[in-house]
Amino acid sequence: MARLIENVAQLLLLLALAPLVTGVIRTLKARLQTRRGPGIFQPYRDLAKLFRKGMVIPETASWIFTAAPWVVFFSTLLAGLMIPMVAADAPLGLFGGVLAVIYLLGLGRFFLALSGLDTGGSFGGLGSSREMTISALAEPAMMLAIFTVAIGAGSTGLTEIAGSAIGQNWRFLAPAQMFAFAALALVLIAETGRIPVDNPDTHLELTMIHEAMILEYSGPYLALVEWAASIKQLVLMTLLINCFWPIGLQPTWFGFGALQGIGWLLAKLLLLSCAIVLLETVNAKLRLFRVPEMLAVAFTLGSLALVSTFLF
Amino acid sequence: MIGELFLSGIVVWLAGAAASLALWRRPARARRVACGTALAGSLLDLAASAAAISGRSPALIDLPFGNSIFSWSIRIDPLSAYFNLTLCVLAAAVSVYSFGYLKEMEGRRNLGAFGFFFNLLLLSLALVFTASNAFFFLVAWEVMALSSYFLISFEHEKEKTRNAGMLFLIMSHAGTGLLLIAFLVLASASGSLEFSSFHLLASSLTPLRQGFVFLLFLFGFGVKAGLVPLHIWLPDAHPVAPSNVSALMSGIVIKTGIYGMARVFFDFYGAPPMWMGTVVLGLGVASALLGVLYALMAHDLKRLLAWHSIENIGIILMGFGAALMFRSLGQANLAALALIAALYHTLNHAIFKGLLFLGAGSVVQATHTRNMEKMGGLIRRMPVTALCFLVGAVAISGLPPLNGFVSEWLTYQALLAGFGTTQSLTRLMFPIAGSLLALTAALAAACFVKAFAIPFLALPRSEEAAEAREASNPMLAGMAVLAVGCVALGFGATWFVRVFDPITQQALGVRASLALVTAHGWALSPGTAHGGTISTAGIALLFLIGGAAFALPLALRWKRRSVIGPVWDCGLPGLTADNEYTATAFSKPLRMIFSALYRPRREIQAEYEVSPHYPSAIRFESEIERTFEKRLYGPLRDRIMAAANRMKGIQAGSINIYLAYIFITLILLLLFGVRG
């Protein structure tokens, strides 16, 4: 029963918080570029509007096109329930650890890439091809960084990983942790489609990846895909901050601690958002064929992290 | 009881082979008899191996035949039973499929001969997995190689097919030669050809001889398994065979190499030296990565699947390598985990690769081409085939909650646990191998996005694809069985791991399933102190609940608000199949990123009439270098040919001289014998 309440609470938190994070990043970015920006609640208004609208289904599309948004949405949510957000105890930790999180996100990506090719337009295929390429190249770096963390905790279970980090608030200064953090941060940028890998704000054909893949979606399905994308971003950000920087993470979900945990989570998310905004603003988008170099840097950082677990 | 069941299966296959050969003038009857006996034999042996493996005590059945020099002994121990089970599940599905698949060949090809070799192949496979005498094993091994050769070369009027068959035959025999030497070394140490006398024997040899025998076995079996760099025959041979044969070849014939390695590594050897495990792990990583990288560049649907067989053999060998290393380090529990990961993946690969090849067979039969660029839109014309192929694609990409994910997860856990087992630098191999496994799996997912989307989605790219017809019912039934297998082995992982208890008990003295299954049978854990858990059943259940409670009702409601419209075509007059993304275009980024490996070559010829801005025709050609053939086997072949040329001198062609050679050899052998 307690487990069920935890799951429902985390589910609601994921659904509610994800658009806010996207909104905050957008507004902060606008302010840094001396624009006013649409306000942090704009993503909620966008979603609400999209859910009320009708939609156009391409005449060339098959059932894959309608199934994909659901697969993406559910697999992202399931991944979100397997990570520690407020408390170290991941609500759905029994069903899978960090490997399941990565592979569930992979399942969503697989179906989204299929849907991009399903419409028969050139843009969808372009987006699918690039998305699968970049995510494949990001994978080894991500795995090395995660192995470093998992080896430290002796488990791939996120409950155990976060639990072993509690109380060691300055552990992130250890070389292995810093290297692994840097590697994962680069992977996070690639996976969430942020500058310098992809530009979430543009629909310019030469530069886009994720937006090209979902070009044919409209109405409620577009809302599902966008919502899933922001939940994925939240999941990866939370994974990053709670594994490396456990400050304020509660042992369990219950009592007054939960409120405190949510407070800390919001504060840490805000800080990471600021970092992302800064990174996006001072960098230009990379050419597609320069992205592998960035991911190679991430892989090297991951290897360094691994080596430094027993050198230092 | 188990022995009788097994033998009756063998007899049914033998009778089927003879009967279909006798019926070669009546194609329809030959087809029914051949497929019927293949199915019946598979089911009988399935019952036998299931009974042998489910028994609480290890089932050992000795069926002594023959005389004292060559005993034709058969022994079904848990390892044999497991591979036999894999064979029979796949063979049963392929037999059902063949009822429909072969129908089109009636009257055009000799189905009697096909049925003969098909049943003979199944028979020899079952004997390879159960023979417990080196001589008998090699006989079964040769029968298997020859019957696969005839099945590969079935469409022998094409030159490509003949060449591929010949390459297979040469490579296969080179491998058999290595095995023969290895078995002879062991036999000279034990004084017997029985496998039971080889038990733990290899570890008692001198280190040099031990390593020599190990490498002979590794490469001898590696040829059959398609281990890089001995894989070159595989991507040529598997696509040219009829698709039901391809399914057997990729699903189970290459697994005989895996079986042989398992038999040698975990039966003949005790705790091996550390370097053996590292060699196997390293070759596994190389096979996995190169297999998937070349698969990405293949646009022949069946060739793509063949390259993925090399990838999956690599993943299996990563498990074996880790298990060997853990054995050297005295970690029996971890060795059991790694061995289970490898064996689980063996069965999984047999099932999803069989499924994918059968699906490819249906597609090729419907479109009359293996080139993916000429397919497209088949999901509307062939909905059931498409669904089955999708299940196989998700499974082989290692995505939850299907079976490929479970075995890859177990492999990750084994590799991850390896880091803490030793203080030497070798431990770095484990996480590096793990991260490269992640790369392999992600590239495989990219490849199967291509392999499913290009043939099945969007608009048809050719007339044949536009008029494709759904496969016949037996073919669909064969695929459906395997698709259900992918789902069952994924959801039911916690229930299935118990099967491995007798195997690990025999090989390593450990029963692992109690440690692996937690949370009242809901979740799988690596069995280490506080390792992570996974529950594919739980994930699947939540997907189903979400789908039934939210997705279905909402999708129906939204459907009423939707309109069908054209795809955005940049304002051009209408979207055609020419605007679609092709398989070549899809893999272009990876071709550029890994160009150092592929060394791609492309040629563009354009013809102009008025101005260079308006070409009237463009010819585009692109190919990648066959690196291994060119850089490794090319020089080797040249050396062999040069040596053969030099040998010409002693081939005078006169019978007297040959008799003299024989006489001299005899004298030398006699002298050698007297001296020894």
Q: Is position A147 within any domain?
A: no
Contacts of A64 in chain B (CB under 8 A): 379, 457
Confidence band of A195 (pLDDT split at 50, 70, 90): confident
* Per-residue pLDDT at B619: 83
ipTM (interface pTM): 0.95
For residues A238-257, average pLDDT: 83
Contacts of A106 in chain B (CB under 8 A): 397, 399, 441-442, 445
For residues B309-333, average pLDDT: 95
Range 43-82 of A in CB contact (< 8 A) with B: 53-60, 62-64, 66, 70, 74-75, 77-78
* Per-residue pLDDT at A120: 86
Are residues B31 and B102 in contact, defined by beta-carbon separation less than 8 angstroms?
A: yes
* Per-residue pLDDT at A205: 62
* Per-residue pLDDT at A217: 93
Strand blocks (E) in B495-543: 517-518, 523-524
Confidence band of B509 (pLDDT split at 50, 70, 90): confident
Q: In angstroms, what separates the C-alpha of A100 from chain B's closest C-alpha?
A: 7
* Per-residue pLDDT at A155: 84
Range 224-283 of A in CB contact (< 8 A) with B: none
Please check whether residue B558 touches A, CB under 8 A.
yes
Top mean-pLDDT range of A88-97, B49-58, B380-389: B380-389
For residues B452-469, average pLDDT: 92
Range 389-408 of B in CB contact (< 8 A) with A: 394, 397-400, 405
Whether pLDDT at B472 is above 90: yes
Range 452-511 of B in CB contact (< 8 A) with A: 452-454, 456-459
Please check whether residue B568 touches A, CB under 8 A.
yes
Are residues A217 and A69 in contact, defined by beta-carbon separation less than 8 angstroms?
A: yes
What percent of chain B lies above the pLDDT cut of 70? 97
Contacts of B565 in chain A (CB under 8 A): 56-59
pLDDT in tens, B157-185: 999 999 999 999 999 999 999 999 999 99
The alpha-carbon radius of gyration of chain A (Å, integer) is 19
Whether pLDDT at B58 is above 60: no
Please check whether residue A290 touches B, CB under 8 A.
no
Are residues A156 and A98 in contact, defined by beta-carbon separation less than 8 angstroms?
A: yes
* Per-residue pLDDT at B676: 60
Mean pLDDT, chain B, whole residue set = 90
Burial (Cβ within 10 Å: 0-12, 13-18, ≥19) of residue B608: exposed
Q: How far apart are CA B62 and CA B522, in angstroms?
A: 38
* Per-residue pLDDT at A179: 92
Closest to A218 measured CA to CA, from B575, B566, B573, B553:
B566
What percent of chain A lies above the pLDDT cut of 90? 55
Q: Which helix (H) or strand (E) holds B212?
A: helix B207-225
Q: Is position A209 within any domain?
A: yes
**Contact call for A95 and B542, based on CB within 8 A:** yes
Confidence band of A52 (pLDDT split at 50, 70, 90): very high
**Contact call for B438 and A143, based on CB within 8 A:** yes
**Contact call for B398 and A103, based on CB within 8 A:** yes
Please check whether residue B620 touches A, CB under 8 A.
no
Please check whether residue B413 touches A, CB under 8 A.
yes
Q: Is position A24 within any domain?
A: yes
The amino acid sitting at A233 is Q
CA A300 to chain centre: 22
For residues B363-371, average pLDDT: 94
Please check whether residue B575 touches A, CB under 8 A.
yes
* Per-residue pLDDT at B59: 55
pLDDT in tens, B552-609: 999 999 999 899 988 887 777 777 888 888 999 999 999 999 988 888 888 888 888 8
Question: Could you list the residue range(s) of the whole structural domain that residue A89 is in?
Answer: 2-137+156-170+201-278
pLDDT in tens, A266-279: 999 999 999 999 99
Q: Is position A40 within any domain?
A: yes
Whether pLDDT at B72 is above 90: no
The amino acid sitting at A178 is M
Please check whether residue B431 touches A, CB under 8 A.
yes
CA B377 to chain centre: 28
Across the interface, which of A66, A110, A118 has its CB nearest the CB of B458? A118
Across the interface, which of B420, B532, B551 has its CB nearest the CB of A70? B551
* Per-residue pLDDT at B220: 96
What percent of chain B lies above the pLDDT cut of 90? 66
For residues A85-100, average pLDDT: 89
pLDDT in tens, B27-53: 899 999 999 999 999 999 999 998 888
For residues A99-104, average pLDDT: 94
Are residues B134 and B195 in contact, defined by beta-carbon separation less than 8 angstroms?
A: yes
Please check whether residue A142 touches B, CB under 8 A.
yes
Confidence band of A206 (pLDDT split at 50, 70, 90): low
Whether pLDDT at A176 is above 90: no
Q: Which two tokens stand for residue B463?
A: 């007339």
Whether pLDDT at A168 is above 60: yes
For residues A273-286, average pLDDT: 91
Whether pLDDT at B227 is above 80: yes
Whether pLDDT at B211 is above 70: yes
* Per-residue pLDDT at B60: 59
Closest to A306 measured CA to CA, from B416, B443, B323:
B416
Q: Is position A52 within any domain?
A: yes
For residues A37-60, average pLDDT: 93
The total number of structural domains in chain A stands at: 1
Confidence band of B98 (pLDDT split at 50, 70, 90): very high
- Tell which wins on pLDDT, A161 or A109: A109
Q: Is position A179 within any domain?
A: no
Q: In this predicted structure, which of B27-31, B54-58, B481-485 has the lowest mean pLDDT?
A: B54-58
Confidence band of B108 (pLDDT split at 50, 70, 90): confident
Across the interface, which of B412, B432, B522 has its CB nearest the CB of A99? B412
* Per-residue pLDDT at A204: 67
